């Protein structure tokens, strides 16, 4: 294992210390427990948006802390969920009196942790709502699995939710919008290589020189299937078709009701893409794939969308939700309406995403 | 009676065994998860033991509560929340007792197991730690009802957990990270069921030792 690290145990902390030194104008860092908040938190009267998850996906989530996006981010150890005490402390610090919206990627550990934190925050009188992101179409059914994983759609949901609360949305309005964006996201990823967590010291799965893994998540976990390598156009077609041909997807999610302090089960359905849909197209590097290759993917993706009359109204191309140094990419398409496009375009000023300001 | 010293010995032993097996547990997790279970659980139990050493002489309720909170804040991952919940629920049953009868120990373990089910909503056969916990709790109940002495009953408990752990190999995971693999999860032993077995084996060994000391 060759990595730019000092000690395995210090990776997350030292990265956070570096962020604090690099971006004092945008954010503040707490190391005990670990969380990152925007420099001017709490913003009085504004709903706070908090997310979090394992480290190793940078810039997600800490790189999205700042004006117009996240108020707080809670990094776990590498590929490990954050703990409830982190999320609780972060939520308490960013709450500006209008409540806290928790954006949760659908992984069992994250869900259990955020559920516990929501209960703890509620116990302190903080209004809390939760939104689940579960956009990975590699997972087919919700009945016999823990449901679709939260992947690329998280970036889109966090941007739009952050803009919404900046524009004065209430907690209930922001939660409704964020859940609607989430339901309209679909993603599919693939790996050319595995990745190595510092603590394991060796790749989390073995992939032969001529093999690729289709339908991966973002934790170096093996994917849905393994196939012999094919060219960029063929890979892009494969990913895009999984997304565009995906049928209706229904799942039951638990969402926190700040009035009763209890969990309500809600059934949500994602409708398939149809000709005429307007989308944000997001081509993401898993960390090790250069931007040049992402454009090659985007080139083919744009052609496919055009053929199907799916209108790409905005795009995002780069490494935004990664799996350490893994080579590979993911594609996320999000069906958007005017409100979502307006909020996507709204100013944002974070370490990793910055425009209009 | 099972004393606070016995329970401290259990947690210490569990911490040692998990540390010894952390590479093995992480390897199991690499096959069907994300290669972090051993490292995380070893770190968590080491922190539990450290915390206990700083607060000696607590009644069992506060001791379990401290263990639960420590696991939740140090492990990360699904298993941290689930084992954390196990100890929080166990703490409610243990209350301010300084010692437990075997029947009370059973009640403590059963409540803890129920806590894991409440948070994680796994059913038997889903290929999770529940597949080790449930047969283990059942075996303890049966052994005590049959009048077996505690050390023998706990050996039966650990043996049932071990059998439950092995039984996860042919199962297809329906909960947790491994469920994403679908049929590819078949043929691998569940890491969480394995750590549960190790923890229950540690319980049997810790109390067998105590027994030996008294003899
Ligand atoms: N819903 C659940 N209920 C009970 N046990 C679960 C559940 N989900 C996962 N587990 C257990 O957790 C173990 C994985 O633990 P760990 O690796 O710490 O979590 P993560 O998957 O978040 O990395 C699995 O092997 C399984 O036994
Ligand atoms: Mg794991």
Residue A212 lies in domain: 187-244+274-335
Q: Over 90: is that where the pLDDT of B34 sits?
A: no
Task: Give the containing element (helix H, strand E) for A31.
Answer: strand A27-31
Q: Which of A33, A108, A115 sits opposite B175 (nearest CB)?
A: A108
The token duo for B120 is 């994680």
A171 and A283 share a domain? Answer: no
Q: Which is nearest to B59 in space by CA: B98, B100, B91, B93?
A: B98
The token duo for B202 is 């540690």
Residue B194: C-alpha distances to residues B28, B41, B133, B201 (Å): 9, 11, 10, 10
The token duo for B81 is 């929340």
Tens digits of per-residue pLDDT, A118-152? 988 999 999 999 999 999 999 887 777 889 999 99
A58 and A195 share a domain? Answer: no
A95 and A238 share a domain? Answer: no
Chain A residue numbers touching B40 (CB-CB < 8 A): 77, 80
In the annotation, is A219 catalytic?
yes
Secondary structure letter of residue B3 according to DSSP: E
Give the span between the Cα atoms of A301 and B133, in whole angstroms.
48
Q: Which pLDDT does position B214 carry in this prediction?
A: 55
Chain A residue numbers touching B180 (CB-CB < 8 A): 138-139, 145-146, 149, 217, 221, 224
pLDDT (average), residues B121-141: 97
- Closest-CA residue, ligand 1 atom 17, reads B37
Q: What is the CATH number of the domain that holds A117?
A: 3.40.50.10440
Q: At what angle do helices A338-345 and A171-183 cross, to 10 degrees?
A: 100
Catalytic choice (A23, A61, A122, A219): A219
Q: Which pLDDT does position B181 carry in this prediction?
A: 83
Instruction: Tell which of A34, A55, A81 to mutate to test the B interface (max B CBs under 10 Å).
Output: A81
Q: Which pLDDT does position A240 carry in this prediction?
A: 98
Give the span between the Cα atoms of A136 and B210, in whole angstroms.
51
Regarding the domain with residue range B2-214, which homologous superfamily does it belong to in the CATH classification?
Answer: DhaL domain (1.25.40.340)
Q: What is the CATH number of the domain that holds A323?
A: 3.30.1180.20
Q: What is the mean pLDDT of chain B?
A: 94
Please indicate if any CB of chain B lies within 8 Å of the CB of A144. Answer: yes
Domain ranges of chain B: 2-214
In the annotation, is A61 catalytic?
no
* Cβ contacts from A onto B, under 8 A: 104
Tens digits of per-residue pLDDT, A77-89? 999 899 999 999 9
**Over the range B77-102, which residues count as b (16 or more CB within 10 Å of their CB) and which as e?**
bbbbbbbbbbbbbbbebbeebebbeb
Instruction: Tell which of B25, B26, B33, B35 to mutate to test the A interface (max A CBs under 10 Å).
Output: B35
Q: Which pLDDT does position A337 carry in this prediction?
A: 98
Please indicate if any CB of chain B lies within 8 Å of the CB of A145. Answer: yes
Contact A100, A128 (CB under 8 A): yes
Task: Give the containing element (helix H, strand E) for A228.
Answer: strand A225-228
A258 and A163 share a domain? Answer: yes
Q: What is the mean pLDDT of chain A?
A: 96
Q: Which pLDDT does position A356 carry in this prediction?
A: 96
Q: Which pLDDT does position B33 carry in this prediction?
A: 86
Among A281-285, A333-337, B181-185, which is the least confidently predicted range?
A: B181-185
Q: Over 50: is that where the pLDDT of B215 sits?
A: no
Tens digits of per-residue pLDDT, A23-69? 999 999 999 999 999 999 999 999 999 999 999 999 999 999 999 99
Contact A81, A125 (CB under 8 A): no
Chain A residue numbers touching B175 (CB-CB < 8 A): 108, 146
Q: Over 60: is that where the pLDDT of B41 sits?
A: yes
Please indicate if any CB of chain B lies within 8 Å of the CB of A159. Answer: no
Q: How confident is the model at residue A185 (pLDDT cuts 50, 70, 90)?
A: very high
Give the span between the Cα atoms of A44 and A28, in whole angstroms.
17
Residue A3 is assigned to a structural domain of this protein:
no
pLDDT (average), residues B77-87: 94
Q: For chain B, how many residues are written?
A: 215
Tens digits of per-residue pLDDT, A208-244? 999 999 999 898 777 888 999 999 999 999 999 999 9
Residue B80 CA: nearest ligand 1 atom is 18
Ligand 1 pocket: which of B36, B78, B121, B181 to mutate (most atoms within 8 A of CB): B78
Please indicate if any CB of chain A lies within 8 Å of the CB of B118. Answer: no
Give the span between the Cα atoms of A185 and A249, in whole angstroms.
11
Question: Number of structural domains, chain A?
Answer: 2
Q: Which of A113, A149, A205 sits opposite B81 (nearest CB)?
A: A113
Q: How confident is the model at residue B56 (pLDDT cuts 50, 70, 90)?
A: confident
Q: Which pLDDT does position B213 carry in this prediction?
A: 55
pLDDT (average), residues A99-125: 95
């Amino acid at each position: 294992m060759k990595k730019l690290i000092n000690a395995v145990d210090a990776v997350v902390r030292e990265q956070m210390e570096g962020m604090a030194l690099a971006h004092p104008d945008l954010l503040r860092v707490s190391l005990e427990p670990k969380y990152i908040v925007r420099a001017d938190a709490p913003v009085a009267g504004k709903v706070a948006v908090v997310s979090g998850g394992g480290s190793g996906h940078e810039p997600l989530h800490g790189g999205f802390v700042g004006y117009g996006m996240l108020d707080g981010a809670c990094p776990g150890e590498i590929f490990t969920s954050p703990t409830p005490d982190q999320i609780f402390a972060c939520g308490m610090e960013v709450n500006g009196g209008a409540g806290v919206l928790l954006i949760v990627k659908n992984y069992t550990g994250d869900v259990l942790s955020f559920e516990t934190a929501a209960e703890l925050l509620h116990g302190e009188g903080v209004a809390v709502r939760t939104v689940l992101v579960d956009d990975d179409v590699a997972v087919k059914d919700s009945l016999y699995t823990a449901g679709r994983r939260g992947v690329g759609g998280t970036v889109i949901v966090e941007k739009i939710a952050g803009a919404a609360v900046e524009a004065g949305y209430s907690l209930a309005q922001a939660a409704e919008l964020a859940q609607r964006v989430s339901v309209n996201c679909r993603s599919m990823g693939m790996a050319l290589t595995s990745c190595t967590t510092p603590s394991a010291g060796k790749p989390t799965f073995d992939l032969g020189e001529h093999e690729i893994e289709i339908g991966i998540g973002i934790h170096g976990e093996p994917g849905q299937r393994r196939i012999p390598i094919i060219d960029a156009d063929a890979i892009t077609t494969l990913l895009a078709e999984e997304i565009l041909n995906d049928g209706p997807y229904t799942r039951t999610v638990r969402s926190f009701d700040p009035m009763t302090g209890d969990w309500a089960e809600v059934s949500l359905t994602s409708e398939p893409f149809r000709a005429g849909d307007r989308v944000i197209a997001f081509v993401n590097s898993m960390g090790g794939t250069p931007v040049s290759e992402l454009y090659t993917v985007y080139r083919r993706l744009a052609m496919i969308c055009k053929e199907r009359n799916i209108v790409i109204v905005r795009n995002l191309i780069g490494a935004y939700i990664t799996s350490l140094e893994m080579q590979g990419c993911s594609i996320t398409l999000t069906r958007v309406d005017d409100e979502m496009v307006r909020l996507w375009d709204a100013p944002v000023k974070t370490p990793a995403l910055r425009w209009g300001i | 009676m099972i004393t606070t010293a016995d329970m401290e010995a259990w947690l210490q032993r569990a911490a040692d065994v998990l540390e010894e097996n952390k590479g093995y547990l992480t390897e199991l997790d690499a096959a069907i998860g994300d290669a972090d279970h051993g490292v995380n659980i070893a770190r968590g139990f080491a922190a539990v033991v450290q915390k206990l050493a700083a607060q000696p002489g607590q009644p069992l309720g506060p001791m379990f509560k401290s263990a639960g909170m420590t696991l939740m804040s140090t492990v990360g991952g699904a298993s941290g929340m689930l084992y954390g919940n196990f100890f929080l629920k166990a703490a409610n049953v243990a209350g301010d007792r300084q010692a437990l009868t075997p029947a009370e120990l059973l009640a403590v373990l059963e409540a803890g197991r129920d806590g894991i089910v409440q948070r994680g909503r796994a059913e038997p056969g889903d290929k999770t730690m529940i597949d080790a916990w449930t047969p283990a709790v059942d075996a303890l109940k049966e052994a005590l009802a049959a009048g077996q002495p505690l050390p023998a009953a706990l050996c039966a408990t650990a043996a049932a957990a071990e059998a439950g752990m092995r039984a996860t190999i042919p199962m297809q995971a329906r909960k947790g990270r491994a469920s994403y693999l679908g049929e590819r999860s078949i043929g691998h032993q569940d890491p969480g069921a394995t750590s549960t077995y190790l923890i229950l084996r540690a319980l049997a060994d810790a109390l067998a030792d105590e027994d030996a000391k008294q003899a």
